[in-house]
């Protein structure tokens, strides 16, 4: 048979196309959620042997004996390591340019609460961004303590309150849900109300402040949107290897919300508890570490890169998280993908940097991907730092029974059920916050 060069080229083209499709299929299969989940280890007996770094021994092998040494030497070196090698540095300073109360009312939740919706605006050069804080404050409390946390599905998803404004960022992120026949669909209003026990908070004298996380940085591997580009120099297109990934960006946003809360007369800014679920739980922890104005921190099912120990390589690992979500952490963190042994730190030291402030870590029994065992041990191994401050941590090393919280300034529970935020979780957080924050 005879082929002209054209034939050969087209045969080559077909071959190349076929190879590309196969490659695509292979990558898709390798990283498809089902396969990624099944690749993970869920067998306690297969957890590799590892030595956990002691939070009270410095990188130069000095024993840390008191709060002064912790605060002067050890905490700063840990903070520096996690900043440059995991979450990423914030490349500059940016303050709220202006804030604007978009809406308020005092008839929310059958007259139990005041509602306030505040738009924060940030401007720098040609860049401008807004994000909206939705607040519910208990009536009859002069300055309310509150929970501050991001939501995944838009402010309007947290309660079926017709007054909650739907943000344009949420509409852009959810084109199919946001607009039908040129009108906002109401189908997602209150859709996640089950994750926010707002009435219970109000009854206990707490308020809630929440923000749609996609307004601060849309959750995709795209470095041209959100707040990151505000800091690019010259023709920079993405953060440098040591600069902030999305978790650090979102944590930064919580601090800016705190800047606003400090100015709100109806809020007790000394009693703001930062809360987050899952990737937003990782965010709450990192925000709590970096901003000591937060009076307490709650991590709900935060897993890998949050409360769970990385060196256990149980459930989601550094490699898996860096592959599925390459934009969450800084590029330097990829040095530890499949290389946990090389890490001179682990996540218990993130928790330790929250000391002496109250901390609540929670897991779910069916959420093995987030490694409940590793989340619990992380709290245990952070506890010596709490002890240094004379604050009781968690000393028992065996996992508590399901639905049996270990309460104290450092608290932990594993509840039955899946990766989620439930009524049970909030009942415990509120009980704990009443005792240790309010």
Binding site for ligand GTR (CB under 6 A): 278-279, 303-304, 316, 321, 324
Closer Cβ to ligand GTR, 215 or 316, answer by number:
316
Closer Cβ to ligand GTR, 324 or 435, answer by number:
324
What is the nearest approach in angstroms of ligand GTR to the Cβ of residue 275? 14
- Helix or strand (DSSP H, E) at 232: none
Burial class (CB in 10 A: 0-12, 13-18, 19+), 103: middle
Q: Which two structure tokens, joined as six digits, stand for 75?
A: 């905490």
What is the Rg, in whole angstroms, of the alpha carbon atoms belonging to the chain?
23
Q: Which two structure tokens, joined as six digits, stand for 367?
A: 């959420």
Closer Cβ to ligand GTR, 36 or 67, answer by number:
36
- Strand 207-212's sheet: what is its strand order? 98-107, 113-124, 127-138, 207-212, 144-151, 267-277, 296-300, 359-364, 410-415
Considering 127, 163, 337, 419, which one is annotated as catalytic?
Answer: 419
Considering 278, 302, 363, 378, which one is annotated as catalytic?
Answer: 278
Closer Cβ to ligand GTR, 37 or 230, answer by number:
37
Say if CB 273 and CB 298 are below 8 A apart.
yes
Rounded CA-CA distance 64/70 in Å is: 6
Q: Please report the sign of the dihedral spanned by the C-alpha atoms of residue 185, residue 187, residue 189, residue 195.
A: negative
Which distant-in-sequence residues (6+ apart) come within 8 Å of 163 by Cβ? 103, 105, 108, 115
What is the nearest approach in angstroms of ligand GTR to the Cβ of residue 304? 5
Closer Cβ to ligand GTR, 154 or 303, answer by number:
303
Does the active-site annotation cover 324? Answer: no
Closer Cβ to ligand GTR, 109 or 336, answer by number:
336
Closer Cβ to ligand GTR, 278 or 363, answer by number:
278
Burial class (CB in 10 A: 0-12, 13-18, 19+), 5: exposed
- Angstrom CA distances, 257 to 167, 214, 228, stand at 16, 14, 17
What is the nearest approach in angstroms of ligand GTR to the Cβ of residue 154? 16
Q: Which two structure tokens, joined as six digits, stand for 284?
A: 């709450």
What is the nearest approach in angstroms of ligand GTR to the Cβ of residue 34? 12
Percentages of the chain per state (helix, strand, coil), in multiples of 5:
40, 20, 40
Does the active-site annotation cover 278? Answer: yes
Burial class (CB in 10 A: 0-12, 13-18, 19+), 162: exposed
What is the nearest approach in angstroms of ligand GTR to the Cβ of residue 376? 17
**Cα angle vertex 299, ends 294, 302, to 5°?**
135
Closer Cβ to ligand GTR, 214 or 303, answer by number:
303
> What sections of 175-300 are H helices per DSSP?
175-178, 198-203, 246-261, 279-290
The residue with tokens 């919706």 is 117
- Helix or strand (DSSP H, E) at 405: none
What is the nearest approach in angstroms of ligand GTR to the Cβ of residue 277? 7
What is the nearest approach in angstroms of ligand GTR to the Cβ of residue 116? 28
**Cα angle vertex 141, ends 288, 107, to 5°?**
105
What is the nearest approach in angstroms of ligand GTR to the Cβ of residue 348? 18
Give the residue numbers marked as catalytic.
Answer: 278, 419
């Amino acid at each position: 048979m005879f082929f002209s060069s054209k034939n050969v080229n087209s045969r080559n083209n077909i071959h190349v196309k076929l190879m590309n499709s196969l490659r695509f299929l292979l990558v898709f299969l390798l990283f498809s959620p089902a396969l990624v989940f099944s690749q993970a280890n869920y067998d306690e007996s297969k957890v590799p042997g590892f030595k956990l770094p002691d939070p009270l021994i410095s990188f130069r092998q000095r024993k840390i004996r008191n709060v002064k040494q912790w605060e002067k030497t050890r905490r700063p070196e840990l903070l520096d390591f996690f900043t440059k090698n995991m979450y990423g540095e914030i490349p500059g300073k940016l303050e709220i340019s202006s804030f604007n109360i978009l809406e308020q009312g005092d008839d929310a939740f059958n007259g139990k609460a005041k509602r306030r919706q505040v738009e924060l605006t940030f401007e720098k050069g040609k860049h401008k961004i807004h994000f909206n804080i939705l607040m519910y404050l208990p009536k009859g409390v002069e300055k309310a303590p509150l929970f501050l946390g991001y939501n995944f599905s838009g402010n309007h998803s947290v309660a079926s309150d017709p007054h909650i404004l739907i943000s344009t960022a949420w509409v852009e992120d959810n084109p199919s849900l946001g607009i039908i026949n040129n009108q906002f669909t109401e189908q997602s209003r209150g859709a996640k109300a089950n994750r926010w026990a707002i009435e219970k908070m109000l009854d206990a004298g707490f308020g809630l402040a929440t923000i749609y996380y996609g307004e601060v940085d849309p959750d995709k591997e795209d470095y041209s949107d959100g707040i990151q580009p505000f800091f690019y120099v010259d023709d920079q297109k993405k953060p440098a290897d040591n600069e902030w990934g999305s978790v650090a960006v979102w944590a930064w946003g919580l601090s800016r919300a705190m800047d606003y809360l400090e100015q709100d007369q109806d809020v007790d800014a000394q009693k703001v508890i930062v809360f987050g679920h899952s990737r937003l739980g990782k965010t709450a922890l990192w925000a709590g570490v970096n901003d000591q104005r937060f009076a307490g921190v709650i991590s709900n099912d935060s897993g890998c890169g949050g409360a769970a120990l990385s060196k256990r390589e149980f459930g989601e690992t550094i490699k898996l998280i860096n592959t599925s979500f390459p934009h969450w952490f800084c590029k330097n963190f990829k040095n530890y993908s499949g290389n946990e042994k090389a890490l001179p730190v682990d996540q218990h030291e993130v928790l330790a940097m929250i000391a002496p402030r109250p901390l609540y870590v929670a897991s779910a029994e069916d959420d093995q991907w987030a490694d409940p065992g590793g989340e619990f041990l992380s709290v245990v191994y952070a506890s010596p730092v709490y002890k240094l401050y004379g604050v009781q941590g968690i000393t028992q090393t065996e996992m508590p029974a399901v639905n049996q919280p270990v309460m104290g300034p450092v608290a932990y529970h594993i509840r039955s059920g899946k990766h989620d935020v439930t009524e049970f979780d909030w009942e415990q957080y509120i009980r704990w916050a009443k005792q240790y924050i309010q």
